[in-house]
Amino acid sequence: MTSPSSEKEYHALAEQILEHDRRYYVEASPTISDVEYDALSRALRAYEEKHPDQVVPWSPTRKVGHTPASEFPKVERPVAMLSLDNTYGEDDLRAFYDRVVKGLDGEVPLFSIEPKIDGFGIELTYQAGLLTLAATRGDGRIGEDVTTNARTVHGVTPKLRKPTDIVVRGEIYMTKAEFAEVNEARDALGEETFKNPRNLAAGSIKLLDPREVAKRPMRTILYEVVDGERYARGHLASLDLIRDLGLPVSQHNSRAASWEELHGAVVSWRDKRDELPYEVDGLVIKVDEFAQRATLGATAKFPRWAIAYKFPARQVTTLVLELEQNVGRTGAVTPVAKLEPVELSGTTVSRASLHNWDQVARLQIGDGDRVLMEKAGEIIPQILAVTEAGSGERFTAPTHCPSCGTALEREEGKVVLGCPNRLGCPAQRLAALEFFGSRGQLNIDGLGEKLVAQLVAADLVRDVADLFDLTVEPLAKLERFGKQSAQNLVTAIAAARKAATFSRLLSALGIAHVGGVVAKLIAARYRTLSALRAVAVAKPSAELVAELCEIEGVGEVIAVAVDRFLRDPHAQVVLDKLAARGFDPEEPVAERATDGPLVGKTLVVTGTLSRPRGEVQARIEAAGGKIAGSVSKKTHYLVAGADTGKTKLEAAEKHGVPVLDEAALEALLTGAPVAD
C-alpha cells in the first residue's frame, strides 16, 4: 500500500479504514487480514505526517488522544437516561407483561428481548455524522463528557456512514477474556485486581490519560436511539438503522409477540448467557413501538415500557480438599482452597482464592467442609459460606512463610500477610524470575513457569541476573530440552537484552506498585538504573523518597517501595550482578511534545544541577524542546550548572548562545519571559 497522493485519496483511504473497522466491530466479519489492515493504517499515517494541516478530525488515527484530561466536564442532557426496574423471576415477568397489556387497553405489543450487558451506560451524540460528544450516564440527567476516552473504545466510530444527526445510548464493556488478561497483568504487578468487567470498564473510561485508556480493550454495544420515533416506527427498526449507519448493535436481540414467545425467549437464555464472550447479567425486555411506549409513559425513575429481567446467580456446593498457602511475587501469602472439581457456569472450578486470612477466619473454613460457591456477576468463583463443616481442622493464618520459614508480617491497616524475606525467599525468587521474562516485561520468549522451575531446580539460575550467563551446553542437558530449544532460549535472552529499556527493566524487577507506567515516569527522570542507584547511595531513604515523590504520578507508597527495593540486601546482590554483566539499559528520550514553550528550541544542558540531569532534560523535552550534546550555532540556550566546563561556555559566547542558570530555565519552562 502506497501512501495517498492527494487529499481526495487521503479521505478515501480514511473512509476505507473506518469501513474495515465497521466490518470488524459491527458486522464481526472482517474482509481483510490484520496485516493488510496495518498496511492501510501505516499508509494513512504516513500521509498525515506529511500533511498535518489536512488531517480530518474523524481520522481513524485520531482515536488515541494525546492530551491527558484534568477533569471531565459535566454535561446536562435534555432527555434523562432512566434506569430500569428489576425483576428476578417468572412471576415478576408475568406481572410486567400484564401491566403492559393492561396499559395498552388489552393490546399485546411486540417486545424486543436484549441481553443486558454488564457494563456501564454511555450516550453518543453525532452531528452531521461526526461524533461530537460521549457522555456517561451520571445521575441520569447530568453526566460527564468522556469524548476523548470514548474514541478509543472499539465500535465508537468517529464518523457515521451518512451525515446524520442522532443520539444513541449503549453500554461500554469488556469481554471476559480481556478482563481476565488485564487482571492477570495487575495481579502480577501486585496491584489490586478488579472485581468484575463492569468496574474495570467504568474505571477505565475515567482514566485521565487517554493513552492509558487505549490500553484497556473496551467495546460498545448500542441499544437505544434517543427520540427514536424521528427515525423509525419501532425500536428494533431504529436499531437496524443505526447498525446501517455503522454502529454496533447486539446480534442477540430477538422479538416476541405473545406471552408464550416472551417466556420461551427468556428460558432459552438460561444456557446461552455463558456462551457469550462478555458478561450478561440479565435481559432487557422492551415494548418495541414508540407510540405504545408513549402511551405507557414512565414513573419518576423507570419507564413503564421496559424491564430488566435479572438472571439468578448460579451456585453450587463442593468439598474443600486442602488449603494452599500461596506465596506471590510481592511476598503476599494468600489462602487458596483446593476443591473437589465442580462445574460452575461453564467452567470447571478446582481452586478458589479466599483472598485473605480474615476471610478464612470469618468463614471458619476447614478440611472436608462442604462450601457454597457462586459465580454471579463475578468471573472469579467465590466461596460464600460453609454449608456443612467437615471433621478436619479449621484453617488459621500461618505465622511463618511456607517457603522460607521467615516470620510473616502484616502491613499496618492491611489484611495481607507478607513474607518480608523478599528475594531471600525461594518462592518469591521463583515468581520474580518468572515475572522478569514474562510478556509485557523483558519478554523472553519461551521462558515460562515450567522452564523457570527447571532452571532453578538444576541450579543454573538463582536470580534474574543469572539468565544472562546461560549458555547452550548446560541448558541442552535439561530434561526434555534439546540443543535447539537451548539455542532458542539463549537467543531469546540476548534479543530481550538488546530490546530492553530502563523502564522495562525497572518494571520487570517486580517492585511492588511499579508497573509499566510508573516505571516510565521514574525512568524518564533517572535514565538508567545505575543513575537511580547512585542517588540511593548518595542520599538517605527519606531524601530519596521525597525526590521520587516529586515525579508527577509517583506517590509516597510507590516511592517507599522503590527505596525499600534499592536498599534490600538481596535485591542489591541481583542489581550488582546485573551491573557486572553490563546490563544497564538507557531509557530512550520520549517523543518530543509538539506544543509547549520550548517548541523549536535546541538546548544543551551541562554542569552540576540541583536535580539529575536526565530529569532536567526530560522536562525540557516535555516542553517541546530538543536536547543536544554540544553547543553550536544551532543551539538556542545553554543551561549551565555549577562547574560548567570552559569549552562549553566559550562555544556559547562564540555563537552568541544565551547561557541560562536553573532559575532562568525554570522561567522558560513555565513560559515566563527571560531576561537575557
DSSP 565: H
Taking alpha carbons only, the member of 198, 345, 378 closest to residue 276 is 345
CA-to-CA distance for 127 and 134, rounded, in angstroms?
A: 12
Rounded CA separation 639/649 (Å): 10
Q: Which of 361, 359, 364, 341 is nearest to 351 (CA)?
A: 341
Cell of 191: 496491584
Nearer residue to ligand IVH within complex by CB, 21 or 279: 279
Q: Would you say 60 or 234 has its CB closer to ligand IVH?
A: 234
Pick the closer one to ligand IVH by CB: 116 or 619.
116
Q: Smaller CB distance to ligand IVH: residue 21 or 114?
A: 114
Judged by beta carbon, residue 306 or residue 657, the one nearer ligand IVH is 306
Q: Which is nearer to ligand IVH, 308 or 486 (CB)?
A: 308
Residues 512/330, Cβ–Cβ less than 8 Å: yes
Please name the residue that has the C-alpha cell 463475578. 378
Question: Scanning the structure block, which residue is given the C-alpha cell 507478607?
Answer: 418
Minimum distance of ligand IVH from residue 152's CB (angstroms): 19
Is 590 in contact with 521 (CB distance < 8 Å)? no
Rounded least distance, CB 234 to ligand IVH, Å: 15
Min separation Cβ 87 and ligand IVH, Å: 12
* Minimum gap (Å) between residue 165 Cβ and ligand IVH: 21
**Number of Cβ atoms within 10 Å of the Cβ of 225:** 22
Which residue type does 646 have? K
**Nearer Cβ to ligand IVH, position 259 or 302?**
302
Q: Considering beta carbons, is residue 1 or 294 the nearer one to ligand IVH?
A: 294
Beta strands in 477-635 (DSSP E): 602-606, 626-628
Q: Contact 193/240 with Cβ under 8 angstroms?
A: no
* Cell numbers found for residue 595: 506544543
The helix/strand/coil state of 167 is: strand
Given phi > 0 = left and psi -120 to 50 = alpha, else beta, which region is 154?
A: beta
Rounded to a whole number of angstroms, the minimum distance from the CB of residue 375 to ligand IVH is: 20
To the nearest whole angstrom, how small is the minimum distance from the Cβ of residue 168 to ligand IVH?
A: 11
Burial class (CB in 10 A: 0-12, 13-18, 19+), 268: exposed
Catalytic residue among 8, 50, 63, 116: 116
User: What does the alpha-carbon distance between residue 594 and residue 623 come to, in Å, rounded to a whole number?
Assistant: 8
Task: Determine whether 654 is an active site residue.
Answer: no
**Alpha carbons 118 and 178: distance in angstroms, whole number:** 14
Give the integer Cα–Cα distance in Å for 661 and 676. 11
Per-residue buried b or exposed e for 255-265, using 16+ beta carbons within 10 Å of the residue's own CB = ebeeeebbeeb
Q: Which of 373, 370, 375, 395 lies closest to 384, judged by CA? A: 373
Residue 114 or 463: the one with the smaller Cβ distance to ligand IVH is 114
Residues engaged in binding ligand IVH (CB under 6 A): 82-84, 114, 116-117, 121, 137, 171, 223-224, 284, 303, 306, 308
Pick the closer one to ligand IVH by CB: 310 or 613.
310
b/e per residue 139-157 (b: at least 16 CB within 10 A): eeeebbbbbbbbbbbbbbb
3-state secondary structure of 74: strand
Give the nearer residue to ligand IVH in terms of CB position, either 63 or 198. 198
Strands 219-225 and 166-173: antiparallel
C-alpha cell at 281: 447479567
The CB-of-223 to ligand IVH minimum distance in angstroms stands at: 4
CB of residue 639 to ligand IVH, shortest distance in Å: 53
CB of 237 to ligand IVH, least distance (A): 16
Q: If residue 592 lies in a helix (H) or strand (E), which one and from where to where?
A: none
Rounded Cα distance between 380 and 195, Å, is 8
Give helix 426-437 / helix 449-457 axis angle, nearest 10°: 130
Q: Per-residue b/e over 201-217, b at no fewer than 16 CB within 10 Å?
A: bbebbebebbeebbbbb
Q: What is the spatial distance between Cα 331 and Cα 423, in angstroms, rounded to a whole number?
A: 9
Closest contact distance (angstroms) between CB of 674 and ligand IVH is 53
Q: How far is the CB of 137 from ligand IVH (least distance, A)?
A: 6
The residues annotated with a catalytic role in the active site are 116
